[in-house]
Amino acid sequence: MNMLTAAALVTAVPLAIHAIAAASETDTVDSNGRIRVPAGYRTAYQFLGSWAVAAEQGHGPAEFHVVYASPGAITAHRRDGRFPDGAVLVKEVFRTKAETLTTGTVSRADTLKGWFVMVKDSGNTRAGNPLWGDGWGWSWFDASDPVRATTVDYKAECQGCHVPAQATDWVYTDGYPALKP
């Protein structure tokens, strides 16, 4: 190994470790357990899957949901069958716009309504904090403010709707090809 390679390694290794840490829980949860939308998730996170919510009238979807997982979470889930502590899931909620393109009538993501964020905490280490429980931290953010959640109580605002996914750790894993063999 020449001097140049050795020097490159010395700088590259801590940088890589920092990048992983910065892209997961430490970047997303403050010391009071308040969650924020992780900065830079669109480039640092991995695509997990997407959903289209049918419009009540007419054709095509009313909303698109695009779900991302923090780096390493997909690999860990494929290996262990569960998300590791500190794993972060981000669900973007978009309004849609239908257009005539060369493929046909196509709906695409339009304006962002906001984000749902979940942070894995299998030990329920923040007992008493109403944004945490059932092995996760839970919050919703309006598109105008990715730093301050509007959620005050996950049991009232999130949990009921996730009961159908309770057997898969409250996550709708059926919709995520990346988690399947």
> In this chain, which of 74, 89, 119, 179 binds ligand HEC, going by CB under 6 A?
89
Q: How far is the CB of 143 from ligand HEC (least distance, A)?
A: 14
Q: Answer yes or no whether residue 91 interacts with ligand HEC by CB under 6 A.
A: yes
Task: Residue 117: count other Cβ atoms within 10 Å of its Cβ.
Answer: 26
- Give every CB contact of residue 38 below 8 A, 6+ residues apart in sequence: 23, 24, 27, 28, 44, 45, 70, 88, 90, 117
> In this chain, which of 37, 73, 119, 158 binds ligand HEC, going by CB under 6 A?
158
Q: What is each CA distance from 125 to 4, 32, 82, 132, 133, in whole angstroms?
A: 45, 12, 18, 8, 9
> In this chain, which of 23, 45, 65, 133 binds ligand HEC, going by CB under 6 A?
65
Q: Answer yes or no whether residue 53 interacts with ligand HEC by CB under 6 A.
A: yes
Which residues are near ligand HEC by CB under 6 A?
51, 53, 65, 67, 89, 91, 116, 118, 138-140, 151, 154, 157-158, 161-162, 165, 171-172
